[in-house]
């Protein structure tokens, strides 16, 4: 779902008619998968009459840009960034209680400065044409085996929210041994600037295993591709992919409308059915997804992760140089 550089900026100008009749707009910075953006953007615009001015980039780049613009904000809403990045930088965002706040699953809530948008899960995407089921990796520890060298696709943990989630998951699952396990996996990785490309590399046979999000892998599974999903036996994480209203947003009221819309029951049902994300509303079922009760989960301590995120990224970069 991420890229290090800004990929696209789409600005909408004035409406037809008198020069003073400016279109209703909302400026949105997103790290979302392009397929999801293309599905939801026109839907919101048609239902609200508000045009989205879109900037698409990796999570890290979006945070850096919002920081750089803090004195004169240009963005109204951050759409789809890992909750730990929003938690670490919550001073950049304005508290907002959405219209349907009571329907949100308490486990996904963290701070009033940002909101859960969907539940995301770290998984392995495995090529089922080149590997037999008995050859599939079953755990994070399995991926540290040198036999996987050059066969694992992943995005960069210093620019991709999903790749950072994978790093944090291993560190939390293994405690004191976490870096030893993760460094073994890192030594086997082929890194990409785009997490959205990871399951494509697996599907095309350029990698045998991809570290990605459940919904990214599910897209290829549903399309009949060469991908199966493996939930690591030593534990994975499901966390909130977040949204936030930027402090000092120039179009704050339109931003609130967009946030309310993303959390509405109909949109949450849409992201489950069409996209394969897990809902953050208690009145929407995760239809078609493996039940959480059948998946081993680590305790993804958002406070601890936010407090250590900068240090862990610095250590990741050092480990990358030394591999």
If pLDDT is split at 50, 70 and 90, which confidence band does 23 have? low
Residue 232 has a pLDDT of 98
How does pLDDT run across 77-121, given as a tens digit for each residue?
999 998 888 999 999 999 999 999 999 998 888 899 999 999 999
Mean pLDDT over each residue of the chain, to the nearest integer: 91
Closest CA to 165 of 98, 111, 85, 97: 85
* Mean pLDDT, range 171-176, rounded to an integer: 96
User: Is the overall model pTM greater than 0.85, yes or no?
Assistant: no
In sign, the C-alpha dihedral spanning 284, 257, 64, 71 is negative
In sign, the C-alpha dihedral spanning 2, 86, 311, 303 is negative
Could you give the percent of the chain with pLDDT greater than 90?
Answer: 77
Check whether 8 has a pLDDT greater than 80. no
- Number of other residues whose CB lies within 10 A of the CB of residue 102: 9
* Mean pLDDT, range 239-248, rounded to an integer: 95
Closest CA to 113 of 310, 237, 279, 249: 249
Pick from 22-36, 47-61, 124-138, 285-299: least confident: 22-36
> For the residues of 164-190, what is the DSSP string, one character each?
HHHHHHHHHHHGGGHHHHHHHHHTTEE
How does pLDDT run across 154-165, given as a tens digit for each residue?
999 998 989 999
């Amino acid at each position: 779902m991420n890229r290090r550089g800004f990929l696209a900026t789409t600005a909408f100008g004035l409406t037809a008619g008198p020069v003073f009749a400016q279109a209703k707009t909302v400026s949105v910075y997103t790290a979302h998968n392009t397929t999801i953006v293309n599905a939801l953007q026109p839907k919101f615009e048609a239902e609200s009459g508000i045009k989205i001015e879109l900037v698409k980039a990796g999570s890290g780049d979006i945070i850096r840009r919002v920081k750089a613009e803090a004195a004169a904000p240009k963005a109204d809403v951050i759409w789809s960034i890992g909750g730990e990045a929003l938690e670490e930088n919550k001073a950049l965002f304005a508290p907002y209680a959405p219209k349907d706040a009571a329907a949100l699953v308490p486990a996904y809530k963290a701070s009033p400065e940002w909101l859960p948008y969907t539940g995301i899960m770290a998984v392995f995407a495995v090529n089922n044409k080149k590997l037999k089921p008995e050859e599939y990796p079953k755990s994070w520890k399995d991926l540290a085996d040198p036999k996987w060298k050059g066969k694992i696709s992943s995005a960069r943990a210093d620019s991709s929210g999903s790749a950072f989630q994978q790093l944090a998951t291993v560190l939390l699952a293994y405690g004191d041994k976490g870096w030893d396990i993760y460094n073994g996996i890192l030594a086997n990785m082929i890194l990409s600037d785009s997490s959205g490309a990871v399951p494509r590399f697996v599907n095309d046979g350029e990698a045998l295993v991809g570290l990605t999000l459940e919904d990214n892998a599910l897209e290829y599974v549903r399309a009949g591709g060469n991908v199966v999903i493996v939930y690591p036996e030593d534990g994975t994480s499901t966390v909130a992919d977040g949204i936030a209203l930027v402090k000092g947003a120039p179009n704050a009221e339109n931003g609130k409308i967009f946030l309310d819309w993303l959390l509405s029951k109909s949109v949450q049902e849409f992201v489950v059915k069409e996209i394969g994300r897990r809902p953050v509303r208690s009145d929407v079922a995760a239809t078609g997804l493996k039940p959480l009760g059948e998946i081993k989960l680590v305790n993804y301590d958002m406070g601890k992760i936010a407090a250590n995120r900068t240090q862990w990224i610095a250590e990741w970069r050092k480990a990358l140089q030394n591999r």
